[in-house]
């Protein structure tokens, strides 16, 4: 199935990253424009429309558009709106010189992260494939009951399949009727098939690690479990999952990472164990000094991953 990618589906902002949101947006827009996702003269979404869809201020989007206009990647036209500008032609020597600088900076950052030569080579090859047939590729989704679980699964599956896998909630599947493949936990497979009947539905075995379940299962009915997530929609399904899988019957105190720091610090001293989603790791871990804690990273067994790779790769 061939489709035109909406730019809002390409933008993924990490609010826990050190790089400001505005700079992340600029970098990603610059990347997708350079990759040819959008044709010369094509109009981008309005600042307010894009801001609403990716959850930022329209001032942030306007700042990004104006920066790219200053770089001659976009142009504003009478009557409003920003359009993809015709890219200036660089000589081969200029392209190589600028490219070498970018690659050198990227390699330095990868080495600083501790990646090996093989891991670095794999990442470069994985990202290179995103440029093949830009703007024309099948759409692969992974669905879950809440966005943070879908995001964690998408990260694993993107590396496995070496193509972009988009995270969506199962309730939003109806908005993605152009999807070619939808991967979902087995418990959501029927709902997935009903939501997008024309897509190929692929089941996935998803669970939590032995360590996570054992530590929660050892808590008594008088113990308190702290749950920290990025979004509120994760609280109910995670609580239900932990009570079902680990048999936890005590109290659950939940907060989102966006809440007041004082409330979060209070929660950490009131609970017997803190569990949290991978999306809040960077901001939460510095606060977890003496509080027992464990990360709720979804686990997909190797046989399930192999089956997905075999099915999707056909």
Q: What is the pLDDT of residue 95?
A: 66
Q: What is the pLDDT of residue 124?
A: 74
* Residue 304 near residue 205 (C-beta atoms within 8 A): yes
Q: Do 210-295 and 7-84 have the same topology in CATH?
A: no
Q: Look at residue 189 and give its three-state secondary structure.
A: helix
**What is the CATH superfamily name and number for domain 140-207+303-312?**
Response regulator (3.40.50.2300)
Per-residue pLDDT of the chain (314 residues; tens, 9 = 90+): 333 445 555 677 877 777 788 888 888 888 777 766 777 888 888 888 888 888 888 889 999 999 988 888 889 887 778 888 876 655 566 667 777 777 887 788 878 877 777 677 767 766 665 555 444 568 899 999 999 999 999 988 988 887 889 999 999 999 898 899 999 999 999 999 999 999 999 999 999 999 999 999 999 999 999 999 999 999 999 999 999 999 999 999 999 987 777 888 888 889 999 999 999 988 888 888 888 999 999 999 999 999 998 888 76
Query: Where along the chain do its domains lie?
Result: 7-84, 94-131, 140-207+303-312, 210-295
Q: What is the pLDDT of residue 2?
A: 33
* Residue 144 near residue 231 (C-beta atoms within 8 A): no
User: Cα 275 from chain centroid?
Assistant: 20
With the CA atoms of 7, 8, 14 and 15 taken in that order, what torsion angle do they form, in degrees rounded to the nearest 10? 130
What stretches of the chain adopt beta strand conformation (E)? Answer: 74-76, 82-84, 140-144, 165-169, 181-185, 200-204, 224-229, 251-256, 273-276, 293-295
With the CA atoms of 27, 31, 32 and 35 taken in that order, what torsion angle do they form, in degrees rounded to the nearest 10? 170
CATH fold of 7-84: Arc Repressor Mutant, subunit A (1.10.10)
Architecture of domain 210-295: 3-Layer(aba) Sandwich (3.40)
Q: What is the pLDDT of residue 128?
A: 62
Query: Which residue(s) pair with 185 in the sheet?
Result: 204
Q: What is the pLDDT of residue 133?
A: 46
Q: Is the pTM of this model over 0.75?
A: no
Q: What is the pLDDT of residue 5?
A: 47
Q: What is the pLDDT of residue 228?
A: 94
Query: Which residue(s) pair with 83 in the sheet?
Result: 43, 75
Label residue 88 exposed, middle or buried (CB < 10 Å: 0-12, 13-18, 19+). exposed
Q: Compute the distance between CA of residue 130 and CA of residue 134 in angstroms, rounded to an integer.
A: 7
């Amino acid at each position: 199935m061939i489709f035109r990618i909406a730019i809002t589906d390409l933008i993924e902002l990490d609010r826990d990253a050190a790089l400001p949101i505005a700079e992340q947006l600029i970098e990603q827009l610059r990347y997708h424009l350079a990759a040819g996702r959008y044709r010369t003269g094509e109009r981008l979404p309005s600042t307010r429309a894009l801001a609403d869809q990716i959850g930022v201020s329209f001032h942030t989007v306007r700042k990004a558009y104006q920066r790219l206009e200053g770089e001659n990647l976009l142009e504003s036209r009478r009557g409003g709106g920003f359009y993809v500008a015709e890219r200036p032609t660089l000589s081969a020597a200029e392209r190589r010189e600028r490219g070498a600088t970018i690659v050198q900076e990227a390699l330095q950052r990868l080495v600083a992260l501790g990646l090996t030569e093989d891991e670095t080579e794999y990442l470069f090859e994985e990202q290179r494939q995103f440029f093949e047939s830009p703007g024309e590729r099948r759409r692969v989704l992974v669905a879950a009951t809440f966005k943070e679980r879908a995001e964690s699964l998408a990260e694993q599956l993107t590396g496995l399949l070496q193509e972009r896998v988009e995270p969506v909630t199962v309730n939003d599947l109806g908005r993605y009727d152009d999807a070619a493949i939808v991967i979902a936990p087995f418990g959501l497979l029927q709902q997935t098939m009903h939501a997008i009947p024309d897509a190929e539905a692929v089941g996935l075995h998803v669970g939590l690690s032995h360590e996570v379940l054992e530590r929660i299962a050892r808590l008594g009915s008088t113990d308190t479990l702290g749950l920290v997530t990025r979004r509120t929609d994760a609280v109910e399904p995670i609580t239900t999952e932990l009570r079902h899988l680990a048999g936890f019957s005590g109290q659950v105190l939940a907060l989102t990472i966006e809440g007041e720091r004082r409330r979060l610090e209070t929660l950490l001293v009131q609970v017997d164990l803190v569990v949290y989603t991978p999306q809040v790791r960077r901001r939460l871990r510095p606060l977890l000094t003496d509080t027992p804690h464990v990360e709720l990273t979804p686990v997909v067994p190797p046989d399930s991953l192999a089956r997905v790779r075999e099915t999707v790769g056909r």
